[in-house]
Amino acid sequence: MAADKPGSDSLVFIDPESGFEIRPLPESRDADIAEILAAATGAGTAEAARSAIADVRAEAPDRVFGGLLDGKLVGAYTLRRDGMANIIGHIAVEANHRRRGIGRTLLLDGLRRSGRRPLVAETDEEGLGFYKACGFKLVGRRKQPDGTFRYRVGWHAPGRSFKGGTSNALTTPPVKPGQ
């Protein structure tokens, strides 16, 4: 399965109704991606996002994904291997395109690319509600030195339904014994 092999994830998702497209983006787009992902870094800077993107590209160059609407980059996320799971390292949507289902669609794309591997993410208090609204479950919480908390959320695809709302919900039927 392509999602199990870092460096081989070249699938493109296109929503026929809206034309919204999600695809792996080349290094030449890293500056644009960093501007969007800056909000998802602890530092909140494009430089921190560029560093995170470089780390992902060092593992597998095609694990940085962009969401394009009418050819314009409006959202992005990174997908990394984390043991037996995949992890959404950073995910963000351009400020004037938020609350339109783009972030949810990006997560759905990450879930598709994860295949049978669980998909996990780490977030702060601000992002926790978003992940929970998308069907992720809280699997851990860690107190930071400054007194704030970081949360680990996860979702396993087989036999689960994605709370997709208007973003084309994905439902995977339970796997029958012997399959």
CA-to-CA separations, 157 to 20, 28, 142, 166, in angstroms, rounded: 23, 32, 25, 19
Confirm whether pTM is higher than 0.85: no
What are the structural domains of the chain?
Answer: 2-155 (3.40.630.30)
Residue 9's pLDDT is: 65
Task: Give the tens place of pLDDT for each residue, 86-115.
Answer: 999 999 999 999 988 999 999 999 998 988
Low-confidence residues in the chain, pLDDT < 70: 1-9, 157-179
Q: Which residues pair with 154 in a beta bridge?
A: 120, 137
Tell me how far apart the alpha carbons of residues 20 and 74 are, in angstroms, rounded to a whole number.
10
Burial of 18 by CB count in 10 Å (0-12 exposed, 13-18 middle, 19+ buried)?
middle
Residue 175's pLDDT is: 39
